[in-house]
Amino acid sequence: MTKALFVVSECAPLVKTGGLADVAGALPGALAQHGVAVRVLLPGYRVVLGQIGKAKVVATYKDLFGGTAKLRACNIVGVDLLILDAPHLYDRDGAIYGDATGRDWPDNPERFAALCKVGAMIAAEGVDGWTPDIVHGHDWQAGLTPEYMRALGVDVPFVFTIHNIAFHGNADAGKLKALGLDPARFTTEGFEFWGQISALKAGLVGAAKINTVSQTYAEELLTPEFGIGMDGVLRMRQADLSGIVNGIDLDAWNPLTDPNITPYKTASGKDANKKALRKTFGLGKADGPLCVLVSRLTEQKGIDLLLEALPALLDRGGQLALLGSGDPKLEVALLEAAASHANVAVKIGYDEALSHKMMAGGDAILVPSRFEPCGLTQLYGLRYGTVPLVALTGGLADTVINASPAALARGVATGVQFFPINAQALANAFTRLGDLYADSKTWKAMQRNAMKQPVGWETSALAYKAIYADLTGATS
């Protein structure tokens, strides 16, 4: 059996800010079905330690970037976890990446360097009688791992997954010594990026294999528009770059067994959930589709485009129920839209149970992102028969079959895509959505198609296993 160590900054259900946590929580179980045993190395944030109780201490570090730390082992909902309990780095008020005002913690370079260094030490020495055959880092927070592995002389292969290249994890060059990094590696061929230390670049140049979370996003990253300064590095590593689309946890997201909703097997069973969702959001009946959106409220997610295009949805009798938080200006604008329109309802914040109810009760799920490495909400939508309306980018392009005339004629359409990614194109898509919804036979066929789509981890887990096998020579 192949043994893999995940180095990751968040993992559902313990701590989550986005799709990265869902992947870290679900992929290990899928890999276990194919002979890969995963242990997940995760920071011991206050919210995490509060959920694991008195987990077994398997290692102690006397001086880990300014303080004593312990490594604790436990199993939560079937995931084997190694929790880095370092109070001086992780036990604090605020969010996991920043304070209550949204500003990044100034010691984030040290906080995640500590995670990477411990990952490298586990690769070198093992822990509690267990040594990984592969180390798999996720996003910039794990990017320095191969640098520490190199310093320790570890020859365990390192795989690096880009979930969102927009975040580089840059640090001032003056931190080279404090982070214990080799100054000789601070070059354009190493982890130097415009005079700064880049944890993301360290991962890109140090990995044996690089992947991202959809094939289209992998191709987009090779361009200046999407590569965000790393496109040149990725073009140099193109032979080692691949795209593997994410999956979702089919047990957690199952309309037949979901405890948050009125269960249903076919899309016709959504009616009761739609009625309940309207009541929850204070919406009345309407002639058009009830659209739902669950998202961080940022321009990346196209929320400003949604606000501009919203009249096109409302003019067709459509409704919007939105759950999310983020940019204060966008929050205010959305609340103002809700105050002005009876068919718009907004809840600021995040509520996992409510997100399930929205997926079950909505007619369509909106994902108007300017870029989207993979996206999970459209996959939840497909699973629940909630037709995705998405921008044509990244994983949204790879997972939704646009209701083009050809796709409709063949009876394979599962959603609506729009391009270019601007407000006018989104408004046009709302018009198309209204037309499709008004055609009951076509709409029901799209819902059936959506619910038939494979959105689990089976295929993707096999793809990850193949990468591991290629690097380790494992045959089973």
Q: Are 414 and 382 in contact (CB under 8 A)?
A: yes
Distance CA 282, CA 277 (A): 8
Alpha carbons within 13 A on the beta-carbon side of 363: 24
Distance CA 129, CA 384 (A): 43
User: What is the sign, positive or negative, of the torsion defined by CA atoms of 83, 89, 93, 95?
Assistant: negative
3 labelled as ligand-binding?
Answer: no
Distance CA 127, CA 378 (A): 39
The separation between CA 47 and the C-alpha centre of its own chain, rounded to angstroms, equals 19
Distance CA 73, CA 64 (A): 18
Q: Give me the torsion for CA of 457, 462, 468, 472, rounded to 10°.
A: 150
**Could you tell me whether strands 36-43 and 56-61 are parallel, antiparallel, or unpaired per DSSP bridges?**
unpaired
Residue bearing tokens 């975040």: 167
Distance CA 9, CA 138 (A): 8
Residue bearing tokens 């927009």: 166
Q: Are 456 and 26 in contact (CB under 8 A)?
A: no
Residues 6+ away with beta carbon under 8 Å from 317 = 286, 287, 288, 343, 434
Q: Are 9 and 141 in contact (CB under 8 A)?
A: yes
What residue type is assigned to position 190 of the chain? G
- Detail the residues annotated as belonging to a binding site: 16
- Detail the residues annotated as belonging to a binding site for ADP-alpha-D-glucose: 16
